[in-house]
């Protein structure tokens, strides 16, 4: 499979012109054309091998129950059914919890959410498997279910222990403050709605080996879990991921169960087995962004400056820990967003509920912390009668300040970034015209908000911050690149290939990026925490540096020159002698190196420097650096219906020195719209039995093209990262997700306008038209 290289004409001597497509250039995504034409191959597009079987999964219909009896004979006898498996059929490890135990591959005598897998069926066709599943006869002894965060807190029902961050004496600070406020905020979760659902195709190979094609952000974890479930050494299992049709965190841990089920059946039957969840099953059976219930108590002075804060964040984890410990930690880390919380206490609960186990989703808990900080700023602004932007400025961290987890703030250019956006968006002028508009219009009201985002970059579990790469140069000068990162549309493969092009100063189309494969680069971290490029870009660069050094050593000896006389330039290698410069094309040069027995292949490795964190003490430097950004949004609401439009959004995002401005801007715009969807139209609903009722696109509304802001300006802060990341760039995948807060805060601003900004209306999320209408009513009644 070739992905990036156009065929190299070995007779063409590449002209000496600047190499094309290097780092820093706006190059189209390596699969952009294939995505549009439909030629890009996803797992379900692969030609199926003869004898391929298809899987459907039998699901719990109860939120919490003991399984009294289970009769699967009708399932086994159904048309086309080849095999039925349940927990007892697992030869190896039965619990596939990614960090902590708690996720049995199939229900273990009891069920803890509606949709929990109980058994799986393999049949000759998907339809046959789906039909057979319905014939199960399962009797339950129904138990009381806990479905809400507040009930879980009341019962101390947690999947992991509560954790705390502390700085100074918050009680004293709040008690001494001239003004105090407290409040609460409920933030609903979010369905990933990746266009490609969960899927795995498992092909048994010789000697019980398994080749797993999957749509996973974490091939190494799938490899490990498949091997454990089958009780095989890890080296029996190969996991390959060419691309995902979106992951957004939903395929970090939750691609694994389906791969394990398919592998279990493939192992028993010695047949290729495919499992692909139908959309509704995917929505019901896989975890989502966590709902959070947050509370706060704050003290502040008359200028609106915070003096102390007392914060609680509580995540709805579902029935098992999954990644929730780290997700609630990240919510706690980000409950300050851009601001100094001063003396503070931040408590984080991991609530257990009898619902699907919630998981990673773009921002990984961070968004559910930052929204609280913005809500507090907004509250303070109206309490002291100031423009919310001025209160935000007033509370920004200064360089040298410490966060509530002990990290010192450095290189904090937030004020500068906000001022730039304030002037480019003409915030003050538009504030005036909005005031005039609102005075002149009885039913339509406009709102404006400018909100910052500070997002910590690194896995907070320090050991995950490492990566590997593999680079081969072939004798025609073409380059094969592999690394541990996975491509889910974010452009990682393009950016890392650009790094390699840059290192050798060759055209990008000489580099082929290949599927992520556990046989090429082992022991990888998930592609997550926005750190894909930071980690894999550096690992690939490291491989290139090793290869270049070998080539330089070879040339220095052969032509008897100093090493610094050799340059890689414009698809050529130049060797400067005293009286002449010898030139080779890159291809000629590497072919010569090969005949002189120089190895043209190596691995590269990287681990992030400077980070350390002691979770017990809640102290250290969990983040290598912060990515900054801000958005300014203007909305118009209809105060009779609560309906609204986003009139304009301006964004400035700090991506450091951009590796690829086109891809970065794509990430920023996409993340903003996804974040806006989370806070406005996307609403997950559950009935009182614990059943998800928003289980398809008809009942769950993701933003469409028509929901984009009418005017949408995105620019890059574009200044080098002070830290030595790959070419001083910054991560971009998750941070701009939180820019969607500007729309939500603008909606609250528009609602508050009916009270002349005297009242702070409650605005839980998503701020659907109903909630906006309630906010307007609330303001009307109190003014």
Is the CB of 213 or the CB of 361 nearer to ligand MOS?
Answer: 361
Which one, of 630, 672, 635, lies nearest residue 747 by Cα? 635
Is the CB of 316 or the CB of 472 nearer to ligand MOS?
Answer: 316
SS3 labels along 375-419? HHHHHHHHHHCCCHHHHHHHHECCCCCECCCCCECCCCCHHHHHH
Residue with tokens 């906010």: 775
734 forms part of the interface with ligand MTE (CB under 6 A): yes
- Cβ 64 to ligand MTE, closest distance in Å? 30
* Among the residue ranges 269-277, 458-466, 523-531, 619-627, the one whose residues contact ligand MTE (CB under 6 A): 523-531
- Is 580 in the active site? no
The helix (run of H) or strand (run of E) holding residue 781 is: helix 769-781
Q: Rounded CA gap, 536 and 524, in Å?
A: 10
Q: Which of residues 622-681 bind ligand MTE (CB under 6 A)?
A: 667, 670
User: 324-333 and 366-384 are packed helices; what angle lies between their axes, rounded to 10 degrees?
Assistant: 30
| Cα–chain center distance at 475 | 38
Q: Phi-psi region for residue 168, left (φ > 0), alpha (ψ -120 to 50) or beta?
A: left
For 387, 516, 766, the CA distances from 676, given in Å and listed in that order, are: 22, 31, 9
Q: Which of 275, 360, 663, 679 binds ligand MOS (CB under 6 A)?
A: 360
Residue with tokens 């941070």: 735
Q: Rounded CA gap, 606 and 725, in Å?
A: 11
- Cβ 308 to ligand MTE, closest distance in Å? 33
Is the CB of 309 or the CB of 667 nearer to ligand MTE?
Answer: 667
Q: What is the DSSP letter of 30?
A: T
381 forms part of the interface with ligand MTE (CB under 6 A): no
490 binds, among ligand MOS, ligand MTE, none (CB under 5 to 8 A by kind): ligand MTE
246 forms part of the interface with ligand MTE (CB under 6 A): yes
Is the CB of 249 or the CB of 369 nearer to ligand MOS?
Answer: 249
484 forms part of the interface with ligand MOS (CB under 6 A): no
Q: Which of 198, 217, 515, 725 binds ligand MOS (CB under 6 A)?
A: 217
488 binds, among ligand MTE, ligand MOS, none (CB under 5 to 8 A by kind): ligand MTE
Q: Rounded CA gap, 535 and 622, in Å?
A: 16
- Cβ 530 to ligand MTE, closest distance in Å? 5
Size of the site for ligand MTE (CB under 6 A): 21
484 forms part of the interface with ligand MTE (CB under 6 A): no
Is the CB of 14 or the CB of 290 nearer to ligand MOS?
Answer: 290
Length of the chain: 783
- DSSP per-residue codes, 275-311: EE--HHHHHHHS--BPPEEEEEEEEE-TT--EEEEEE
Catalytic one of 588, 734, 770, 781: 734
Q: Which residue is nearest to ligand MOS (CB)?
A: 249
Q: Phi-psi region for residue 10, left (φ > 0), alpha (ψ -120 to 50) or beta?
A: alpha
468 binds, among ligand MTE, ligand MOS, none (CB under 5 to 8 A by kind): none
346 forms part of the interface with ligand MOS (CB under 6 A): no
Is the CB of 216 or the CB of 342 nearer to ligand MTE?
Answer: 216
**Kind of pairing, strands 644-653 and 711-716?**
parallel
532 binds, among ligand MTE, ligand MOS, none (CB under 5 to 8 A by kind): ligand MTE
The helix (run of H) or strand (run of E) holding residue 357 is: none
- Cβ 366 to ligand MOS, closest distance in Å? 9
Residues with a catalytic annotation lie at 734
Residues in touch with ligand MTE (CB under 6 A): 246-249, 362, 488-490, 492, 527-533, 667, 670, 731, 733-734
Give the binding site for ligand MOS (CB under 6 A).
217, 249, 252, 360-362, 364, 528-529, 734
């Amino acid at each position: 499979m070739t992905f990036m290289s156009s065929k190299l004409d070995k007779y063409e001597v590449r002209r000496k012109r600047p190499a094309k497509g290097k780092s820093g250039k706006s190059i189209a995504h390596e699969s952009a054309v294939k995505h549009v034409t439909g030629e890009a191959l996803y797992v379900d597009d692969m030609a199926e091998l003869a004898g391929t079987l298809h899987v459907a999964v039998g699901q719990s219909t109860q939120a919490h129950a003991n399984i009294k009896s289970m009769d699967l004979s009708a399932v086994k006898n159904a048309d086309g059914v080849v095999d039925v498996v349940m927990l007892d059929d697992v030869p190896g490890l039965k619990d596939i919890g990614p960090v902590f135990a708690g996720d049995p591959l199939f229900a273990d005598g009891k069920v803890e959410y509606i949709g929990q897998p109980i058994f799986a069926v393999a049949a000759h066709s998907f339809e046959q498997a789906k039909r057979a599943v319905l014939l199960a006869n399962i009797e339950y002894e129904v138990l009381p279910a806990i479905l809400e965060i507040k009930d879980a807190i009341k019962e101390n029902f947690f999947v992991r222990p509560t954790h705390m961050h502390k700085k100074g004496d918050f009680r004293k600070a709040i008690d001494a403050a001239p003004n105090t406020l407290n409040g609460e905020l409920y933030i609903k979760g979010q369905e990933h709605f990746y266009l490609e659902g969960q899927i795995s195709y498992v092909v048994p190979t010789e000697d019980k080996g398994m080749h797993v094609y999957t749509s996973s952000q974490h091939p190494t974890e799938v490899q490990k879990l498949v091997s454990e479930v089958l009780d095989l050494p890890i080296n029996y299992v190969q996991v390959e991921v060419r691309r995902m049709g979106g992951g957004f965190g939903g395929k970090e841990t939750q691609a694994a169960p389906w791969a394990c089920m398919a592998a279990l059946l493939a192992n028993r039957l010695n047949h290729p087995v495919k499992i692909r969840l139908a959309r509704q099953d995917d929505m019901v059976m896989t975890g989502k962004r966590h709902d959070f219930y947050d509370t706060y108590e704050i003290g502040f002075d008359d200028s609106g400056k915070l003096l102390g804060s007392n914060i609680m964040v509580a995540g709805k984890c579902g029935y098992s820990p999954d990644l929730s410990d780290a997700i609630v930690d990240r919510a706690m880390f980000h409950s300050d967003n851009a601001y100094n919380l001063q003396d503070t206490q931040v408590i984080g609960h991991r609530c257990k509920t009898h619902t699907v186990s919630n998981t990673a989703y773009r921002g990984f808990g961070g968004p559910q912390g930052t929204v609280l900080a913005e809500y507090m700023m907004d509250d303070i602004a109206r309490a002291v009668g100031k423009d919310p932007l001025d209160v935000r400025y007033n509370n920004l961290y200064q360089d040298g300040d410490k966060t509530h987890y002990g990290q010192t703030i450095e290189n904090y250019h937030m004020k500068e970034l906000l001022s730039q956006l304030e002037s480019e968006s003409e915030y003050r002028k538009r504030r005036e015209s909005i005031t005039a508009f609102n005075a002149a219009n009885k039913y339509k009201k406009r709102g404006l908000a400018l909100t910052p985002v500070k997002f910590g970059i690194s896995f907070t579990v320090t050991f995950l911050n490492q990566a590997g790469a593999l680079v081969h140069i072939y004798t025609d000068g073409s380059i094969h690149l592999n690394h541990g990162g996975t491509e889910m549309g974010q452009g990682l493969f393009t950016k890392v290939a650009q790094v390699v092009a840059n290192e050798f100063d060759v055209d990008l189309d000489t580099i082929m990026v290949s599927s992520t494969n556990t046989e090429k680069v082992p022991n990888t971290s998930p592609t997550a925490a926005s750190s894909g490029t930071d980690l894999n870009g550096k690992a690939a660069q490291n491989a290139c540096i090793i290869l270049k050094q070998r080539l330089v050593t070879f040339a220095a000896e052969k032509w008897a020159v100093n090493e610094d006389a050799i340059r890689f330039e414009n698809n050529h290698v130049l060797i400067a002698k005293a009286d002449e410069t010898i030139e080779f094309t890159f291809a000629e040069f590497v072919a010569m190196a090969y005949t002189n027995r120089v190895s043209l292949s190596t691995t590269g490795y990287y681990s992030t420097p400077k980070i350390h964190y002691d979770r017990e003490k809640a102290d250290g430097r969990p983040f290598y650096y912060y990515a900054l950004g801000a958005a300014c949004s203007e909305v118009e609401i209809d105060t009779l219906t609560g309906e609204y439009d986003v009139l304009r959004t301006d964004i400035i995002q700090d991506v450091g020195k951009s590796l690829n401005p086109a891809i970065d801007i794509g990430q920023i715009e996409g993340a903003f719209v996804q974040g806006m969807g989370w806070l406005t139209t996307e609403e997950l609903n559950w009935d009182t039995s614990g059943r998800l009722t928003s289980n398809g696109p008809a009942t769950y509304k993701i933003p469409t093209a028509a929901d984009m802001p009418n005017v949408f300006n995105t620019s890059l802060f574009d200044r080098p990262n002070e830290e030595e990341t790959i070419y001083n760039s910054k991560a971009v995948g998750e941070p701009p997700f939180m820019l969607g807060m500007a729309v939500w805060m603008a909606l609250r601003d528009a609602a508050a306008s009916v009270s002349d900004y005297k009242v702070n209306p409650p605005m839980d999320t998503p701020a659907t038209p109903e909630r906006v209408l309630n906010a307007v009513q609330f303001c009307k009644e109190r003014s």
